[in-house]
Amino acid sequence: MVLRIGIIGMGVVGKATAYAFSEYGHQILSYDKNIQTIDGTSFADISRLSDIIFICTPEDVVHEVVSKLDHDNCRGVIVIRSTVVPGTTLTLEKQFGRMLVHNPEFLREKFAFKEALEPAIIVIGSLWPDYMKLLNQLYAPFARPMFNMSSTESEILKFWWNARLACNISFANDMKKICDSVGANVHMINNIVSQFSLYKWHPYFVGRFDGKCLPKDLEHLIGFAEANKIDVPMLKAILEVNQGL
User: pLDDT per residue over 125-163, tens digit each?
Assistant: 999 999 999 999 999 999 999 999 999 999 999 999 999
Q: What is the pLDDT of residues 76-114, one digit of tens each?
A: 999 999 999 999 999 999 999 999 999 999 999 999 999
pTM, 2 dp: 0.85
Spatial neighbors of 52 by CB under 8 A, at least 6 apart, are: 3, 4, 5, 6, 76, 77, 79, 134, 135, 138
Q: Where in the chain is the domain with CATH 1.10.1040.10?
A: 156-243
What is the distance between the alpha carbons of residues 193 and 187, in angstroms, rounded to a whole number?
A: 10
pLDDT digits (tens, 9 = 90+) for 216-228: 998 998 998 899 8
Contact 159, 214 (CB under 8 A): no
For the domain made up of 4-149, give the CATH fold: Rossmann fold (3.40.50)
Return residue ranges of the chain for CATH 3.40.50.720.
Answer: 4-149
Decide if pLDDT at 203 tops 60: no
For domain 156-243, which architecture applies? Orthogonal Bundle (1.10)
- Residue 126 makes CB contacts below 8 A (sequence gap 6+) with 99, 100, 101, 102, 132, 135, 148, 150, 151
Mean pLDDT of 200-215: 72
